[in-house]
Amino acid sequence: MAQKKLLTNGKAFKRSDNRWGGTVWYMDEKGERKRKCFSGTTKAEVTKKMTNYVVAFNEQLFASDESQQTLRESMTHWLHVFKFPSVERTTYDRCECTVEHQIFPLLGEKVVGDITAADLKEVLNYWMNQGYAYTTVKKVYIVLNEYFRYLTQQEILAKNPMNSVPMIKKSNFMAAQNKEDLPTQETVTVFTPEEIEKFKAEAFSKFSNGKPKYQQPAAYILMLNTGLRTGELLGLLNSDINLEGKYLEVRQNVKEVCRRKGTDYVPGREVKVGKTKTATSKRRVPLNGAAEQAVRELRQERDFGPTTPLVSDEKGDYTRPVNFRKRYYRILRAAGIEQKGLHSLRHHFATQLINGVKQPDGTILALSPRQVADLLGHSTSQITEMYYVKKDTARLQGITDGFNF
């Protein structure tokens, strides 16, 4: 896209009819030469008209030149026009949060065209030195990279300053924070057998009057035995479950998003029911005995019909993910278990299936990574092994006894 600009400031000339004329030449947004003509009874009159036109042209050009706007103005425009229509609502909410809390406080009032690679690197260094997680700082890097790529693609900037700002390596990032860069598999959180028993005991505990302490505790047991994501579980309808066939169908996902009027934020959050996370997330998941029992208990506690959620609120509507998470954390605290994310139930499911469970005869019953990936809805088994399985070296004990070199 060409940049609109003046080619001449205009020059007055006397016409054959004794009037005065003048022409200002400019280039439009398509790169084509255009002219603006003026006329008057005197040279001074025409000159003044051309001067006023040139001033107005330059003012309009400056006002429309995004490189002369503040980063807050320009990036907000980019978010609303380019980002909002192209991503999921939850993705946009996270992006907007990163912009509001990590980018605007440091760069918001700077003029876009004056921002240098050093300015951008300082932003990343600042949040690293503040002790923020690597993933948080990387989100800042990704947003800045996308935004400045847009500026150069639209020819608002001639050069992309982010080309000179590489993301710091994770090992160096962690070293700068005096933290150990653990392998990804080591950061996976699962439950010990003792923690599982404590969790179940607390989740199904009752008050002295016999009333259950927690609503729908069986929902967490269902997650533990199927590996469902939180949004998948909360989006599960009674009609998606076939107890006779011992399986359930994952068809949709529940998310909690910011309320909006158009692209403008409105205070509060709302539940949004939509498509699954990925195409492979739509799947059939088998039900073991514990999962079947969990479904029956959930229906016994609350059942509003086949077209309503299995894990519903008191009115039969979809449960808000935030309420479901808060209930889970209350159980952990009461059971004296170190805080683990709700996703840990999914991690535990995958880890147990791949690492295997020891049978009475001493053999290990385990599934292949590919089988577990299919159960979890992953496109590749590498994702499952890297991000969902806690490495268990204890099961390797004695495995080399027959190999003597």
Q: Is the dihedral of CA 205, 207, 208, 211 positive or negative?
A: negative
**Angle (CA) 279 285 286, round 5°:** 160
Q: Which helix (H) or strand (E) holds 349?
A: helix 344-355
Per-residue pLDDT band at 188 (split at 50, 70, 90)? confident
Report which of 78, 163, 168 is spatially closest to residue 132, judged by C-alpha positions. 168
What is the predicted pLDDT for the residue at 175?
92
What is the predicted pLDDT for the residue at 126?
96
| In the predicted structure, residue 391 carries a pLDDT above the cut 80 | no
| In the predicted structure, residue 164 carries a pLDDT above the cut 70 | yes
Whole-number average pLDDT of the chain: 91
Rounded Cα–Cα distance for residues 203 and 201 (Å): 6
Rounded Cα–Cα distance for residues 314 and 219 (Å): 15
| In the predicted structure, residue 53 carries a pLDDT above the cut 60 | yes
Rounded Cα–Cα distance for residues 139 and 132 (Å): 11
Q: Which residues of 338-374 are buried (b: 16+ CB within 10 A; e: fewer)?
A: eebebebbbbbbbbbbbbeeeeeeeeeebbebeebbb
What is the predicted pLDDT for the residue at 298?
97
| pLDDT tens column, 348-368 | 999 999 988 878 887 778 899
Tokens of residue 288, six digits: 């073991």
Q: Which residue carries 């739509």 as its tokens? A: 282
Q: What percent of the chain has pLDDT over 90?
A: 71
Report which of 283, 299, 318 is spatially closest to residue 218, judged by C-alpha positions. 299
Complete domains list, the chain, with CATH: 5-64 (no CATH), 71-181 (1.10.150.130), 216-328 (1.10.443.10)
What is the predicted pLDDT for the residue at 399?
65
Rounded Cα–Cα distance for residues 260 and 263 (Å): 6
Longest alpha-carbon distance in the chain: 113
User: The whole model's pTM is what?
Assistant: 0.76
Rounded Cα–Cα distance for residues 83 and 95 (Å): 9
What is the predicted pLDDT for the residue at 283?
96
Per-residue pLDDT band at 55 (split at 50, 70, 90)? confident
SS3 235: coil
What is the predicted pLDDT for the residue at 64?
62
What is the predicted pLDDT for the residue at 402?
73
Q: Half-sphere exposure of 304 toward its Cβ, with a 13 Å CA cutoff?
A: 13
- Cβ-Cβ contacts under 8 Å for 143 (sequence gap 6 or more): 95, 98, 99, 103
| In the predicted structure, residue 394 carries a pLDDT above the cut 70 | no
Rounded Cα–Cα distance for residues 244 and 346 (Å): 24
Contact 376, 353 (CB under 8 A): no
| In the predicted structure, residue 397 carries a pLDDT above the cut 70 | no
Rounded Cα–Cα distance for residues 37 and 24 (Å): 7
Q: What percent of the chain has pLDDT over 70?
A: 95
Considering only 44-48, 85-89, 261-265, which range has the smallest mean pLDDT? 261-265
Assign residue 178 a region (left: φ > 0; alpha: ψ between -120 and 50; beta: otherwise).
left
Rounded Cα–Cα distance for residues 189 and 347 (Å): 7
Considering only 60-64, 277-281, 322-326, which range has the smallest mean pLDDT? 60-64
Which of 183 and 262 is assigned the larger pLDDT? 262
CA distances from 155 to 103, 184, 279 (A): 22, 40, 36
| pLDDT tens column, 87-117 | 888 999 999 999 999 999 999 999 999 999 9
Q: Which residue carries 């309320």 as its tokens? A: 259
Residue 265, phi then psi, degrees to nearest 5: -75, 135
The gap from C-alpha 227 to its chain's centroid, in whole angstroms, comes to: 21
